[in-house]
Structures are given as C-alpha cells and as structure tokens.
Amino acid sequence: MSYENTKLYKERSKLWHDARIKKTRVLTRPKGTAKLKSRWTGPYIINQVTPHGIIELIGNGEQTFLVNDQRVKHYFGGMTKEIVKK
C-alpha cells in the first residue's frame, strides 16, 4: 500500500514539475561574434593590483579589464623580461 502511494506521489510531482519547465530558446549569431569570444586567449600583463584582490590586466591591443585575483593563473616558468611603461 505505501509503495503504491509513493509511486503515485512521485508520478504526480513529476507531472507538476514538468509542466512548469520553461522552454529555452537559443539565438544563433554569425561567426566571429565578440560576445561569444573568450577574453582569456593570450598572455596578459598585470597593470595594477589592489589590496582587495582586484587585478587590472592589459591584453592585446591595450585592452584592459579587471578580474578577481583567484581567476588568474600563476606563472611558474623561467625568468621573463620586465616590461615597464611610463
């Protein structure tokens, strides 16, 4: 008896949840859309570090953006030339 009641309850709750699932629509965009392109495609230079853990990075073409310090990978390679812009 209780097994049957549980089965009925599960079926009803599944129907209820399935009725409330919203249909999603995917918009197609032409190739090369900047919105879908990842910003993480090249080496970056650290421009500024704040005490609150925000890092300003300079990318290709002098593009700058802010990221959290936890999202940046550490570089453990060899010595590099230090680039200083004044």
Q: What is the pLDDT of residues 10-67, one digit of tens each?
A: 999 999 998 888 776 655 556 555 555 566 667 788 888 888 888 888 887 778 888 8
Q: How far apart are CA 32 and CA 59, in angstroms?
A: 18
Position 30 scores a pLDDT of 60
Pick from 27, 43, 47: nearest CA to 35: 27
- Does residue 68 have a pLDDT over 80? yes
Q: How far apart are CA 56 and CA 65, in angstroms?
A: 6
| In contact, 60 and 54? CB cutoff 8 Å | no
| In contact, 67 and 45? CB cutoff 8 Å | no
Position 43 scores a pLDDT of 75
Position 62 scores a pLDDT of 76
